[in-house]
Each structure stands twice: as structure tokens, then as C-alpha cells.
Chains A and B, each alone.
Chain A
Amino acid sequence: MEQFMFIWQKLQNNRLRMMAMFLSVIFYVTLMLLSPLFFSFFVDNVIGDGEIVHPLARMFSAWLGGVEVLRNNLWIGGVIIVLISALSGIAMYWRGRLNGEISENVTQKIRDEVYRHLQRLPYSYHVNAKTGDLIQRCTSDVDQIRRFLASQISELVYAVALSLIAGVILFSIHAPLAWLSIVSLPIIFAFAYIFFIKMQKAFKASDESEGEMSAVIQENLSGTRVVKAFSRESYELEKFEKKNRTFRDLTYRLIHLLGMYWGLSDLICLLQILLVVVSGITMAKEGSITVGNYFVFVSYVSMILWPVRNVGRILSDMGKVGVSIDRLKEILNHPLEDIDVGLMPDINGSIVFDQVYFKYDDGETDVLKNVSFSVKKGETIAIMGPTGSGKSSLVHLLTRLHDYREGSITIDGVELRDIRRSHLRKHVGIVLQEPFLFSKTISANIALALPQAPEEEIERAAKIASVHQVITEFDRGYQTMVGEKGVTLSGGQKQRIAIARTIINNSPILIFDDSLSAVDTETDMHIRTALHAIAKDTTTIIITHRISSAQNADNIIVLNEGEIEQQGTHAQLLAQEGLYKRIADIQSAMVMGGEEDE
């Protein structure tokens, strides 16, 4: 029922189309059934000289001016046949077209909604998300619903309308023969339904074995070096042969079973026709039906049987639609992050942390404890500390990817919690540790948040990020595609492009979350100097492992196990005993012969 509500809701704006589709199916069915009726009338009453029994048929012939007119102008019959076919053709066209429109409109709506939702799920959701499973839901589950709307519904309506109307006509002609004509319908329906329910396992087995086979190919290809280096070619071939064979055998078994199904169900259908033929002959001999009636019965039975068989299959498949809807709703019911709620103050760049505590939703202990410090507009601060000391969590708080538990963080005096997330993120640029680049051109990746940015702007940002040179060395320069369809970038190149795409926004606050780790020290320094020159008013927060990157900061914070262990300038920290000094000592010891490297 819930699933039905889901579909019903998504059908908004398409409900009238749905009605029209139902009507065109019914119209089509009626016309289709009319054709044999007219034919029978033609045979019995126009060419033959039987008496017109049915009142409707009598009205019909009277309207045309009597049977005699028709008999002398046989072409009128021809025209009527063509006319019926033309009308049913129009209905058929509309059925197909409406099916396409309804299913595609709804599918588009679902796709957009899921995509929108996925993007607005909170950060923590994406940290734990299983990408493969999500993509599966977004594609095959959506497609299952599309198929349901595109064909299954209309086929159901078609089969039901066809058997009902045909049933009524047959019973009005000759009830006993009508009973005989439909005797196998429940059997054929049940047979199809049960068969396909039972077959689901076999289908799944075949699908899975295909998946396993592809996985072996995939792993073999991505591990070519290992395969070759260990000389395991024949071992791999054996492994593949097994999977290839299993897939072949399971699928063959499936096809074999399907063959039995089609064979057996055809047998039932054909026997049903035989039953009608033989009883029809007997009744015609007795004179209780006419030649035309006989023709109508035989035609109708052949028309109904196969669609009814189809209904069994469709119904067995419809269970899957429900499952798909549930799987999609699981995503859609997950609460969203409110990115458009809250204040939109001017952001200049002074930040104050006051006794901030933070822990993850699923965590037990605090990741940050009693963190207090302040940064003035235009200052640079550096954060150092061992892995897991809470450096990244600290800067994540500043963009409200997570919210703090206790204490207060203010930007220009406004409590962070009250600031609208989208507003905040547009003004606080953060370069993540492992940046993700989209499979667009390099230029588009840099102008990610400013699609209208002029070329000079893009190049300027790339130059500051020390990546312009690299980009121009590619064959297509800034128009080079990133990712599978283009160039594979090194970690350092990715980081620098990520830096370029962040600084192009001219945010008043810039955060580098260890985002120069894959860049060598020299380039690191170039980038920082260039940035400093153009953005004197920008507040900068740098997470780093390098003393050289930290030493020019206005304030250096050393974090350890979530707490601030040391805080001060390079000179101040050097004057204290502590982690910072020990790092610095080692560094100067490293520079052999006492030479400075910078």
C-alpha cells in the first residue's frame, strides 16, 4: 500500500495521462474485438444468408441500408475493416506514446529527487556510504519502476480489459461454448505466475554467476602485473574457465527451464483452442452456432490466451517493484542537512573558538576537548599534531560539516550554529585532504563553483596553485578531461587543482586540510607565498606536517589527542620544551653541514 502511495504521489501531473492511457487501451481492445465480429456478420449475413439474430447487428445493418446494399457493394465491408484498423491504430499509437510519456516523466522526477536528496544528506552519511549499493539503487531500482510504468501497467489493463470484454461478448453469443472457452484461463495464469516465482532463484543464480565471471576478468586485468610477475597465466585461465563454465551452465539451465515453460504453456493454450474448435464443430453441426460464431470463438480464444499467460509473468515481476520502491525510500527517508536555514551575516574572517567540545554521532569519546583560540581577520594559523589528534575534525566544524557539542565558535561575532550552512560554505573555502575531481575538463574543475568564471580568472587561480605549468603541458591544456576519459593526475596535481578551484572563489577564510602533503616542499612554499601576496585579508588555516609550512604563521597550534598542547608563534614555541621544539631540532639536525634549505 505504501508502495502504491509512492507511485501515486510521483504520478502527480501525469494522472490525467494515465487515465487517457487506460481509455486508449480499452478503446483499442474494443476495436480489436470488433473486427472478428464484423467479419462474422459479413460471413453469416452478407455473404451467407443467415438471419440476423443480434439486435445490435440488426441496427448496424439497418443503418447501412440493409444487408442487400452490403452484398451488392462488398467494398463497403472492406472500407469498414480498414476503418476499424485505422481507429485501433490511433488508439495503439496513443497507448504507446502515453506509456512513454508517463514512465519517462515519472522516472525523471524520481531520478532528480534521489540525486538532490543524495547531495543534501549530511557529511557523516557519505563518510559511511557504500557507493556501489547506492548506485545500484539509483539505477536498477529506478529502472524497475520505469519498466512497471512503461509497460507492465498497460499490459495488465490490456489483458484484463481484453478478457472481460471478450468474455461478455462470448457469453452473449453462446454461454456453454463460452464456458468451454475460458476453462483453461485460471490454469494458464496460475502456471505462469507460479513458474516465474519459482524461477527467480534460477535467474538470480545466472546473474550472480555472470557477475562473478566479470569480477574475475576485472581482477585479472587490473592485476596483470601480478599475474605476469608470478607467471600465473595458466592458473588464471583455469580460474576463469571455471567461472565461464558455471555461467554458461547456469544460464543454459535457465534457458532450458524457460523452454519447458514456453513449451508447456503453449501446449495448454493450443489444447484450449483445440477444445473450442472441436466443441465449436459439434455445436455448429447441431445448429446452435453459425459459421460466423465459430469464427468469432476461435479468434477470441487465440486473442485472449497469450495476454493472460503474460499477466502471470508480470504479476510475479511486480513483487520486485515493491522491493525497489522500499530501497529507494530508504534513501529518501534519511533526514537531510538543512543547508538553507539560518542567518546570512557578512563574513570577514575573525574566528573565535571558546571551550569547544566535539564528538561524532557514533563515537563515545570526545574528539576535541576544551579547544579555545582566536584568529583575527587576515591572520594565518597553522595546526600540527599526530594522526588522529583531531586536526581535520576541527576544521570540519568551521564549515559545519559536523556541529560541535559544547562551547562556542563565532565568526565575526556570530555564533556558527546560527549561520546558514550554504552561506557559510560559500565563504569558507576548504581544500580536503583527498580532493575529488569531477570527470570534466580541468578548466571546468577549477571553475566548479563559478561556472561563468572568465578564462583569465581560471588561469590566475591555477598559477597561484602552481599548476598552470603542468596543465599547459597537456595536449589539450585546460580543456583536458580529468579521469577515465582523459588524463590520470598524480596526487600532487589533484591537490593543486583542488587548491585552484578553492581560491578562485576569493573566500575570506581559507582552510588547507593537509592538502599540500603530496606536493614537494618547494612548490608548497611557492603556493603559500603567491597566496599571501594576493590575499592579504584572507584568514588562512593550514593543517600541515611540515615545520617549514608552519613557521611563518601568526599562530601555531599543536593538537594532541583532541586538546591544544602548545600554542604560539614559531619563535615562542622554539623557546619552550615540547613537541614543536623537538621536531624543529630534528629538522636542523637533518640539514647536514648546517645549511639552510630555504
Chain B
Amino acid sequence: MSEQFEEQEYNTDSLDTKLWSKILKLLWIHKKDLFVLYGFMIMLAFVDISFPLLNRHAIDNFVIGSPQDNEVLIFTLVYLGFVVWQAFNVYYFIKRAGKIEMNFAYDVRQRAFTKLQELSFTYYDKTPLGWIMARMTSDITRLSEILSWGLMDMVWGFSVMIGITIVMLITNWQMALLILMVIPPLWYISVYFQTRILKTYREVRKVNSKITGAFSEGISGAKTTKTMAIEDLNLEEFKSLTGDMRQRSIRAAVLSALFMPLVTGLGAISTAGILVVGGHQVLLGAIQFGTLMLFTQYAGQFFEPLRQIARLLAELQMAQASAERVLSLINSEADIVDHPHVIEKYGTILHPKKENYPTMDGEVEFRNVTFHYNPQEPVLTDFNLKVKKGQTVALVGETGSGKSTIVNLLCRFYQPVEGQILIDGVDITERSIGWLHSNLGYVLQAPHLFSGTVAENIRYGRLEATDQEVEEAAKLVNAHNFIMKLEQGYASDVGEGGNRLSTGEKQLISFARAVLADPAIFVLDEATSSIDTETEQIIQHAIDTLLVDRTSFVIAHRLSTIVSADVILVIKKGKIVEQGTHSELLRLKGIYYRLYTNQFQEDLQNQLLQLKPE
């Protein structure tokens, strides 16, 4: 695995402004919503600051003084107005922030997914699936949360602090200083603790995912555990994980438990100061009770925003890695792309101009093709092969010998380093990838189905196919019978990844899918896993049906497929070592001969073993 996929957790301690400015650009699309939201946050802060002022007014003028009745009435109405207004603010800012959060996440996911469709195979080859999944889900979620709710809290926090500071300074600067004095130590403590707390929680999450992994292994590996009698060993190992988890979690809890008292303690010091200084001024008659109350309330209100801002800064620091990873996905470049003039004629993959697609006959030529994944290990050197329309090519060799390379080149999942691949006499790079793929049928060794119904999965081969055509395709590969036995026939749900069906059934459906596509060129990666005799025969029949009159490339494991092929390519360590028909190769008495005698007799044996003696 390359180094770029080593998870970088806290790469820097400072904020990377360049990175965030790129992210903010993505956010900028929602600027209208953002400005409205921030407007509401400022109003929210305004009302928050106003309530203590209203209280002061009440104490000084009504509780202590002797007001007119209508003065109290006006006061009540104003207060009521503020209450209703504030409730509305709360409702509205939540709604807005939610909208921004979801829209941002939606947009970024959309972009990233589009990018994923465009990226070529080499990207998927070197990027672990889990890595991409994490980018698409949790990283984007975290980022959109911070950019919506986080930034919003920050705007509110600054508004409140600035507002209160102004009001306090105007009202009574001595007492204002008493509160402002506490800011520097409080800021320091907040940043220190918030960063530390977040880090500890992140460690806790890491251990937690280890525990989940251990559970998962404990369950999937239970049979092995039993037969090896290692229950106790496993439990010991698991206990050390949960013990670690406990310790770290408690440490995180203790950190949080320390932080809050320190903050309120600092707050209490300034309150005490206000009481002493303010009390003195009241005694001197310099201020009224209400002002004293105002300041004690502000002392309480001042610190929450500060804490929020400190938290946000810590979160931004932690989210930096997420931001980086999401950006790196969005900015990845596909390395197999069509020439501009090809795109002009045939369109891109996502926006094809199908009307310009020429029909494909299926003549294939590899002309002086050289290919390697890395220069030290050449896979194909100056490889030549001509396949006539309708011929079957069988690729034979051990696992990992490089059989799939030829197929991958043909499918243009990779491109030759040198040389050309021609279809119908035209270099495939002169026609679009979309054209190539829409004329290609591909059946994988491990059949991949998508969630949805049986019919939907078959229709994947040709989206506009009618129900009848879908059924015909299924009949052609003998899948119809088992499909009809399913509870809802063609409308039966296949489950995630098709896991409600057996391997053999999945294979048949993937055959039907390929038949429906009616491709000019057919690529088949035969399964090695053994299935029961009956299905085996049905599948063999399906393959025969598929191969008729179609140029086919088969990564072959079955004897009958290989024997009937027009050309057999024997591949060893990435090189074609023998090439010819079955009888030609047998006469060579080379590798093919040995493979045949060793490996394939087993096929026969197995078949025989499955036959029940009469």
C-alpha cells in the first residue's frame, strides 16, 4: 500500500489557511444562505444581550422605583416582543444552518461521486475501497457540520462577546475590566483543554473501531477459534483492548470534568470582583442595583461563546485532515481519457453522443503491445495477436500469472505503454471509452450484483430492454427456472450485493445481464470455485450460448471451454509462453500439456465423483 493512504491524524498543529480557503470556495456557492444565517445569528446575539438590559430596567425602575401602570405594560409588551422574536430566531437559524449543511454535503458528495465515475481503473487499483468510503461518508459529514453549525457558532460567539463588551464599557468601565481581565487565562485554558479533549476522544474512537473489528473477527472466526481451542487466548487479547478503551475513555471524561469547573471558577472570580466593586459603588450611590445585576448576568453570559470559539478552533484543526482528504478525492485526475477530438465526436462517458457511435464487428488486434505496471517488471513485451470476428480466445495459466492483463488492456482499464490495440482495424484510442464499453460484455469470476430486483440487475445490461427481453435473456442462460422459483419471481429483491442468492445463481444472472447487452466482444472470467453439479452444467450451457458468434476472451478454468477455444494463450509470469489450438499445444508437450494432465484431470474426477453409482 502506498504511503498516501497511511491515515494522517493530526498532521499539523496550526491551521492551514490555504486549504481552508479552498474549502471555503466550495462553501461560497451557498453564500446567500450563509449571509441570511449570519444575519440571524447577529440578531440572536442582540436579543441575548438585550434580556439582561431589560432585567436591569425592571429592577431599577419597577422593583425599586414606583412605575406608572402603563410603563409596566409597555415593558411587558416589549419583553414579549423580544421573546417571540427570539423563539423565531432560534427556529429559523436551525432551519437555515441545516439547509446549508445538507446542501453542502449533497454538492460535495455529488462532485466526488461524479469524479469517481470518471476515474480510471488505475485509481481503484491503488486506492483501498475503505479509504474512498470514509471520504464519501464520514469526512464529508464532518466537514459540512463544521462549515455550517461551527462557523455559525463562531459568528454568534463573536457577536455576543463584542456586544457585551461594548454595553459593559459604556455602562461601567471598572466592572467591565473585571470581566475582560479573565479573558486571557480563560482563552488559554479553553484552547488547551478543547484540543486535548478532542484528541483524547479521537483516540477513543480509534480504539473503539478496533473493538468493532475484534467483535467482527470474533464472530466470523468463531469456527476457527473453536477448532483451535483458543477461546481464552482471544478473550485475553480482547480484554486488553477493552481495558485500553476503558482507560482512555476515563481519561477523556476526567479531562472534560476538569475543564468545566475551571471555566466556571474563573467566572466566579470575576463575579466576586463585581460584587465587591459594584457593591461598593451601590453603597456610594454611584450605580443602582440593576446595574450590579446586569454585570453579574453578563459575567455568566460572556464565557459560553468563548468556550464555543475555542472548541471550534480545535475542531477545525482536527477536521483539517478530513478537508485535505476530501479535496484530494475531488481533485484526482483520471489518467485514461479520450483525446479531445474523440470527445468532440463521441462525447464523454457521462455525456455520450451515442448517435455517433459506429457499430462494432468484433475483430481484435494487439499490435506490438508492450505493457507493465512498473518498469522493472514488464508484463507484455511486443505482444501480437489477431482475433477474427466470432473467435474464442482462452487464456490459461496459474493464478497471478497475468491472464487478466490482456483482458484489462482490451477493456481499456489500462493502456499499453507501447503499441496499439485495434478493433475493426481502428485504434481504440480513436474511438471513445464509452463506445468501447457499450459494445463489451463482461462477466466476472465473482459476480457482482447491485441491490434491487432480479429484473433490474439483468436490465443493467441494456437499460431500455422490455420485461419480455429480460425474461428471454434469462431463459437463454437457463436462469428463468430458478428465478421463477423465487418468491416474487423477477421482482424479487437480491439483497445487498446479491447476497440473498447463491454464487451459482448470481453467476447466472450476471450471464443474463451480459446476454441482454448483446455485445460484439465478450469477456469472461470463469469461476474457479466449485458449485454443485446441476448448476455447474447449467452454467456450462450458459457459457456455450454466450460464446456463439461472438468474439470472446475467456480467462478459462474449465476444460471444455478451453478445448473448444479457437486460440489458447498459455501465460506464465506475465508472458505468453505458448499459443495455439488445443491439439497443437498438446503436441508441443510443454507447459500446456503438463497443466492439462495435472490440473484438468481433476475436473473429470470431480465430475465422476458427483455421479451417483446406479
Residues of A with C-beta under 8 A to B230: 448-449
The smallest C-beta distance from B231 to any residue of chain A, in angstroms, reads: 5
Do the beta carbons of A583 and B437 come within 8 Å of each other?
no
Do the beta carbons of A560 and B613 come within 8 Å of each other?
yes
A74 beta carbon closer than 8 Å to chain B: yes
B215 beta carbon closer than 8 Å to chain A: yes
B254-285 interface code vs A (CB 8 A; 1 in, 0 out): 10111011101101110111011001101100
B67 beta carbon closer than 8 Å to chain A: yes
Most central of B228, B267, B597 by chain A CB within 10 Å: B228
Residues of B with C-beta under 8 A to A501: 228
A491-516 interface code vs B (CB 8 A; 1 in, 0 out): 11000000001100000000000000
Do the beta carbons of B136 and A252 come within 8 Å of each other?
no
Residues of B with C-beta under 8 A to A284: 62-64
The smallest C-beta distance from A490 to any residue of chain B, in angstroms, reads: 6
Distance, CA A216 to CA B602, complexed state (A): 40
Known A-B contacts A96-B257, A97-B254; the reply to A234 vs B350 at CB < 8 A is yes
Residues of B with C-beta under 8 A to A386: 609-612
Distance, CA A128 to CA B110, complexed state (A): 39
Choose among B97, B132, B217, B463 the residue that contacts A438 (Cβ–Cβ < 8 A).
B217
Do the beta carbons of A89 and B265 come within 8 Å of each other?
yes
Known A-B contacts A214-B137, A223-B448, A436-B221; the reply to A591 vs B283 at CB < 8 A is no
B370-396 interface code vs A (CB 8 A; 1 in, 0 out): 000000000000000000000000000
Do the beta carbons of B438 and A231 come within 8 Å of each other?
yes
Distance, CA A546 to CA B606, complexed state (A): 8
Residues of A with C-beta under 8 A to B158: none
A236 beta carbon closer than 8 Å to chain B: yes
Residues of B with C-beta under 8 A to A451: 233
Choose among B214, B264, B292 the residue that contacts A92 (Cβ–Cβ < 8 A).
B264
Known A-B contacts A112-B239, A274-B76, A274-B79; the reply to A95 vs B349 at CB < 8 A is no
Distance, CA A192 to CA B328, complexed state (A): 43
A87-106 interface code vs B (CB 8 A; 1 in, 0 out): 01110111111011101110
Distance, CA A295 to CA B83, complexed state (A): 19
Which among B116-124, B183-191, B466-474, B544-552 touches the partner chain? B116-124
Do the beta carbons of A586 and B102 come within 8 Å of each other?
no
Smallest Cβ-Cβ distance to B613: which chain A residue? A579
Smallest Cβ-Cβ distance to B64: which chain A residue? A291
Which among B87-95, B422-430, B478-486, B572-580 touches the partner chain? B87-95
**Which positions 242-283 of chain A face chain B at CB distance < 8 Å?**
244-245, 247-249, 251-252, 254-256, 258-260, 262-264, 266-267, 270-271, 273-274, 277-278, 280-282
Residues of A with C-beta under 8 A to B250: 97, 100-101, 104
Smallest Cβ-Cβ distance to A228: which chain B residue? B437
Do the beta carbons of B67 and A586 come within 8 Å of each other?
no
Residues of A with C-beta under 8 A to B537: none
Which among A363-371, A372-380, A425-433 touches the partner chain? A425-433
Do the beta carbons of B76 and A278 come within 8 Å of each other?
yes
Residues of A with C-beta under 8 A to B72: 278, 281-282
The smallest C-beta distance from A141 to any residue of chain B, in angstroms, reads: 11
Residues of A with C-beta under 8 A to B460: 226, 230, 232, 235
Smallest Cβ-Cβ distance to B257: which chain A residue? A96
Smallest Cβ-Cβ distance to A579: which chain B residue? B613
Do the beta carbons of A255 and B101 come within 8 Å of each other?
yes
Residues of A with C-beta under 8 A to B239: 112
Task: Count chain A residues whose beta carbon lies closer than 8 angstroms to a beta carbon of B.
Answer: 158
Do the beta carbons of B229 and A449 come within 8 Å of each other?
yes
Known A-B contacts A451-B233, A597-B598; the reply to A252 vs B99 at CB < 8 A is yes
A19 beta carbon closer than 8 Å to chain B: no
Which among B162-170, B240-248, B307-315, B316-324 touches the partner chain? B240-248
The smallest C-beta distance from B449 to any residue of chain A, in angstroms, reads: 8
**Which positions 127-160 of chain A face chain B at CB distance < 8 Å?**
127, 129, 131, 134-135, 138-139, 150
**Which positions 427-448 of chain B face chain A at CB distance < 8 Å?**
433-434, 437-438, 440-442, 444, 448
Do the beta carbons of A234 and B349 come within 8 Å of each other?
yes
**Which positions 132-156 of chain B face chain A at CB distance < 8 Å?**
132-133, 136-137
Choose among A77, A90, A233, A502 the residue that contacts B118 (Cβ–Cβ < 8 A).
A233
Smallest Cβ-Cβ distance to B440: which chain A residue? A229
B61-98 interface code vs A (CB 8 A; 1 in, 0 out): 01110110000100010011001101110111111011
Do the beta carbons of B497 and A77 come within 8 Å of each other?
no
Residues of A with C-beta under 8 A to B351: 234
Do the beta carbons of A425 and B220 come within 8 Å of each other?
no
A399 beta carbon closer than 8 Å to chain B: yes
Do the beta carbons of A439 and B95 come within 8 Å of each other?
no
The smallest C-beta distance from B235 to any residue of chain A, in angstroms, reads: 5
Smallest Cβ-Cβ distance to A258: which chain B residue? B94
Smallest Cβ-Cβ distance to B238: which chain A residue? A115
A378-392 interface code vs B (CB 8 A; 1 in, 0 out): 000000111100000
Do the beta carbons of A77 and B233 come within 8 Å of each other?
no
Do the beta carbons of A85 and B223 come within 8 Å of each other?
no
Do the beta carbons of B496 and A219 come within 8 Å of each other?
yes
Residues of A with C-beta under 8 A to B271: 81, 85
Choose among B238, B268, B433 the residue that contacts A82 (Cβ–Cβ < 8 A).
B268
Residues of B with C-beta under 8 A to A417: none
The smallest C-beta distance from A78 to any residue of chain B, in angstroms, reads: 4
The smallest C-beta distance from B149 to any residue of chain A, in angstroms, reads: 10
Do the beta carbons of B599 and A520 come within 8 Å of each other?
yes
Residues of B with C-beta under 8 A to A547: 605
Do the beta carbons of A545 and B411 come within 8 Å of each other?
no
Choose among B58, B113, B254, B437 the residue that contacts A217 (Cβ–Cβ < 8 A).
B113
Do the beta carbons of B437 and A82 come within 8 Å of each other?
no
Residues of B with C-beta under 8 A to A490: 399-400
Choose among A42, A233, A280, A583 the residue that contacts B349 (Cβ–Cβ < 8 A).
A233
B608 beta carbon closer than 8 Å to chain A: yes
Distance, CA A75 to CA B272, complexed state (A): 8
Distance, CA A592 to CA B583, complexed state (A): 12
Residues of A with C-beta under 8 A to B91: 259-260, 262-264
The smallest C-beta distance from A50 to any residue of chain B, in angstroms, reads: 12
Residues of B with C-beta under 8 A to A96: 253-254, 256-257, 260
Distance, CA A119 to CA B230, complexed state (A): 9
**Which positions 587-614 of chain B face chain A at CB distance < 8 Å?**
597-602, 604-606, 608-613
A106-124 interface code vs B (CB 8 A; 1 in, 0 out): 0110011001101111010
Residues of B with C-beta under 8 A to A586: 601, 604-605, 608
Do the beta carbons of B605 and A583 come within 8 Å of each other?
yes
Distance, CA A212 to CA B253, complexed state (A): 34
A79 beta carbon closer than 8 Å to chain B: yes
Distance, CA A29 to CA B238, complexed state (A): 40
Choose among A228, A251, A260 the residue that contacts B102 (Cβ–Cβ < 8 A).
A251
Smallest Cβ-Cβ distance to A48: which chain B residue? B289
Do the beta carbons of A131 and B216 come within 8 Å of each other?
yes
A197-213 interface code vs B (CB 8 A; 1 in, 0 out): 00000000000001001
Most central of A104, A267, A385, A401 by chain B CB within 10 Å: A104
Distance, CA A216 to CA B450, complexed state (A): 8
Residues of A with C-beta under 8 A to B528: 491
The smallest C-beta distance from A440 to any residue of chain B, in angstroms, reads: 9
A51 beta carbon closer than 8 Å to chain B: no
B276-304 interface code vs A (CB 8 A; 1 in, 0 out): 10011011000001001100100000000
The smallest C-beta distance from B239 to any residue of chain A, in angstroms, reads: 6
User: What are 30 of the A-B contact pairs (CB < 8 Å)?
Assistant: A81-B268, A93-B261, A95-B257, A107-B246, A108-B243, A115-B234, A116-B235, A119-B222, A210-B137, A219-B496, A240-B113, A256-B94, A259-B90, A259-B95, A264-B87, A266-B86, A273-B83, A280-B63, A284-B63, A291-B63, A386-B610, A422-B229, A425-B228, A430-B227, A522-B598, A579-B609, A579-B613, A586-B608, A590-B600, A591-B597
Given pairs A230-B438, A432-B224, 12 additional interface contacts (CB within 8 A): A111-B211, A118-B218, A134-B219, A229-B441, A234-B117, A256-B94, A259-B90, A274-B79, A285-B62, A436-B220, A521-B599, A583-B605
Listed from nearest, the 3 A-B pairs whose CB atoms lie closest are: A100-B253, A96-B257, A263-B91
